[in-house]
Structure 1
Amino acid sequence: MSKIEDAKKNITRRQVLKIGAAATALPLFSIMTRPANAAEFTYKFATGQDPTHPVNKRAQEAIERIRNATNGRLEIKLFPANQLGSDTDLMSQIRNGGVEFFNQASVVLSTLVPAAGIVNTGFAFHDYKEVWAAMDGPLGAYVRAQIEKAGLLTMSRPWDNGFRQITTSTKPVKTAGDLKGLKLRVPAAPMLTSLFTALGASPTPINFNEVYSSLQTKLVEGQENPLAIISTARLYEVQKFCAMSNHVWDAYWILGNRRAIERLPKDIQEIVRRELDKAATDERADIASLSISARNDLAAKGVQIIEPDKNSFKDALAKGTFYKDLRSKFGEDAWKLLQNSVGSLG
């Protein structure tokens, strides 16, 4: 080998070594790309419902569809059954970004957004035909606007929390008079507290994660919830009677932390809303079906099903200032939207 060829080889070797040394000196992030299966955004979705509840079933399905439609860019992890805190804790977390998505009932959301509680007006809705005409129409649009004024985003049409029923362990509730002095658990929700106070009961606000133990230890005699909750939370184990009062219909709102949602690219935001809207439709059908099967299941488990005199409740409310007070609280415009859907109240 000639001296010239040898020199060329040495220069080439030195260049390779130099390039290799420079590469090892570069920061790791400058030469590595994001793994193909790593999410660009990782968010938390909290609920208060038991894992078997349709809310969690449909939310998980939506999460999987979102992951697939975004090619894994958005990864959402579901935390059911108040794993990340009580309803009141999670209300704070969704506002400060501790969680990015949260499923909340109107009755509890009304503590932050009073207008959300208008859908919980006692004995307002007669059936689901009235409910969905209102909630997918002007009344629902009004409530969504008020929620968003409070700094939260509503991520879909409202989901169904169902019509609420009364369960007790000490005596059946057949008329409004049977509620007199009854110590009844309610959520930390002014609408339900005022309703049962007007009916003569003794409403006791307790977070849902403490309901079973409160009934078991007889801290309270009864509680009120939709049949789906009574069934999936196994409240039938500590209650003897279920009065089909249909006293309040309640919505579930899928809430989003505004900053977290606005960080997502527009195409991902659209996918999230699309899939949660589909989940809303599916969950509504689930609750309608479950309300029928849950009633039969509760009866099979020994719970006595009562068909109370609903007129006695309405008459008791009409004798006082219950509806008049609500009309003043929500204002004429909102009250008109409600009455356009359900007819005259009070």
Structure 2
Amino acid sequence: MKFRLTMLLGATAAILASAITAQAETVLKWAHVYETSEPFHTESVWAAEEIAKRTDGRYKIDVFPASQLGKEADINQGLKLGTVDIIISGSSFAAREHPPIGVTYYPYTFRDPAHLIAYTKSDIFKKLAAGYEQASGGNHITAVTYYGTRHTTSNRPIATCADMAGLKIRVPDVPAYLAMPRACGANTTPIAFAEVYLALQNGTVEAQENPLTTIEAKKFYEVQKNISLTGHIVDHLNTVVSGMLWAKLSDEDKKIFTEVMQEAAERSTKIIEEREKALVDKFKERGITVTEVDRSDFEKAVMEKVSFEEFGYDKADWEAIRAVK
């Protein structure tokens, strides 16, 4: 009897241990398209480890960088399919579900990174994020990271809006990114992010636009010798938790995920701002021609030629963002 009781207790303990282990090993996939050297990756890894600590190991989050689980459109779709649980992606992709949230990509909306961050704490951001959550089936934006201010690299110097006439320029496959180049007469070509370097190298396109930090990380400066500081979009990335996962999380875990992801976003934002400050001089040292432009020239062309309505944006939302202090 004692032997049988011992065996029974041992079996029960084994079952309980197995259940606890299973609970401890809830594995989640966090995907993005950025290089491992970029803070969007390093701080995601930090956040994954921090969430594991703060939840006593109940969640194990694997981070997949550099389009390992698909291009940006793919990982956004993956939130619905259940192939990914968390992604980092721009509001331009969220706008495919809820067009109004993409108004932040209308050129020259934000004055600077501080204005962007102030927006993420505003009522207009809460309204737009809630609209996206409802339209996407529950996908929840937990944090926003400053991605960088977008500038233009090209084979030939660009000093004015008119200089872009006829220029073959790569833009992401997102309508809002077309606004400034098309307003200035450029020929836009949507090419996947992972394929841009080769497209510039083989002459498929003559130009592209991205923040200085991305120009460095993706080594676009190796195949483009001109950078024009057009500063047309103060860009950002959202950390998005799938609706399926968000619905399963307890209130306590939602709080942990949100706090950690916001801390990671703040860390990334600080790194990006510090890197940007140093990069202009660094590019000049490499022999790159860096041109300061009159941004009002580009902004004037956009305001005259690009309507909010064609992108599904509400001008009232744009005005509310512009009014944020």
Query: What TM-score, normalized to structure 2?
Result: 0.91
Q: Name the CA shift for 1:209/1:265 in 2 (closer, same or farther; >3 Å).
A: same
Q: CA deviation at 1:102?
A: 0.4
Please state whether the residue corresponding to 1:269 is helix, strand or coil. helix
Amino acid at match of 1:337: A
Q: CA deviation at 1:293?
A: 2.0
Note the 1:196-215 alignment, pairs <5 A: 196-215=181-200
Aligned to 2:157: 172
| 2:240 is equivalent to residue 248 of structure 1 | no
Q: Name the CA shift for 1:22/1:131 in 2 (closer, same or farther; >3 Å).
A: closer
Please state whether the residue corresponding to 1:125 is helix, strand or coil. coil
| 2:321 is equivalent to residue 338 of structure 1 | yes
Q: Residue 187 of structure 1 is aligned with which of 164, 167, 172?
A: 172
Please state whether the residue corresponding to 2:170 is helix, strand or coil. strand
Q: Residue 153 of structure 1 is aligned with which of 127, 130, 139?
A: 139
Q: Matched residues in 2 for 1:340 and 1:187: separation?
A: 28
Amino acid at match of 1:223: Q
Q: Matched residues in 2 for 1:77 and 1:340: separation?
A: 39
| 2:263 is equivalent to residue 263 of structure 1 | no
Amino acid at match of 1:117: G
Q: Matched residues in 2 for 1:178 and 1:166: separation?
A: 12
Q: Name the CA shift for 1:182/1:38 in 2 (closer, same or farther; >3 Å).
A: same
Q: Matched residues in 1 for 2:48 and 2:124: separation?
A: 28
| 2:294 is equivalent to residue 309 of structure 1 | yes
| 2:72 is equivalent to residue 95 of structure 1 | no
Q: Residue 40 of structure 2 is aligned with which of 55, 58, 66?
A: 55
Amino acid at match of 1:261: W
Overall identity of the aligned pairs, in %: 25
- Partners of 1:138 and 1:337 within 8 A in 2: no
Amino acid at match of 1:79: F
Q: CA deviation at 1:34?
A: 4.3
| 2:57 is equivalent to residue 72 of structure 1 | yes
Q: CA deviation at 1:304?
A: 1.3
Structure 1: gaps of 5 or more residues? 1-14
- Partners of 1:111 and 1:190 within 8 A in 2: no
Query: What TM-score, normalized to structure 1?
Result: 0.85
Q: CA deviation at 1:139?
A: 2.7
> Which whole-Å deviations, capped at 9, do the CAs of 1:273-320 have from their partners, x for residues lacking one?
111111121111111111112222222222211112212212323443
Q: Matched residues in 1 for 2:240 and 2:66: separation?
A: 17
- Partners of 1:156 and 1:280 within 8 A in 2: no
Q: Matched residues in 2 for 1:213 and 1:199: separation?
A: 25
Q: Residue 81 of structure 1 is aligned with which of 62, 66, 72?
A: 66
Amino acid at match of 1:113: H
Aligned to 1:163: 149
| 2:106 is equivalent to residue 124 of structure 1 | no
Please state whether the residue corresponding to 1:341 is helix, strand or coil. coil
- Partners of 2:164 and 2:184 within 8 A in 1: yes
Q: Residue 277 of structure 2 is aligned with which of 277, 289, 292?
A: 292
> Which whole-Å deviations, capped at 9, do the CAs of 1:229-285 have from their partners, x for residues lacking one?
111111111111111110011220011111112223332221111111111211111
Aligned to 2:259: 274
Q: Matched residues in 1 for 2:7 and 2:110: separation?
A: 74
Amino acid at match of 1:156: T
Q: Residue 228 of structure 1 is aligned with which of 202, 210, 213?
A: 213
Q: Matched residues in 1 for 2:82 and 2:106: separation?
A: 31
Q: Matched residues in 2 for 1:260 and 1:116: separation?
A: 22
> Which whole-Å deviations, capped at 9, do the CAs of 1:3-32 have from their partners, x for residues lacking one?
xxxxxxxxxxxx4676688799x7997475
Q: How many residues align?
A: 324
> Which whole-Å deviations, capped at 9, do the CAs of 1:197-243 have from their partners, x for residues lacking one?
22211111111111111111111111001111111111111111111
- Partners of 1:47 and 1:102 within 8 A in 2: yes
Structure 2: gaps of 5 or more residues? none
- Partners of 1:96 and 1:257 within 8 A in 2: no
Please state whether the residue corresponding to 1:255 is helix, strand or coil. strand
CA-based RMSD of the aligned residues comes to 2.5
Q: CA deviation at 1:162?
A: 1.5
Q: Matched residues in 1 for 2:166 and 2:36: separation?
A: 34
Q: CA deviation at 1:179?
A: 0.7
- Partners of 2:159 and 2:291 within 8 A in 1: yes
| Structure possessing the higher radius of gyration over alpha carbons | 1
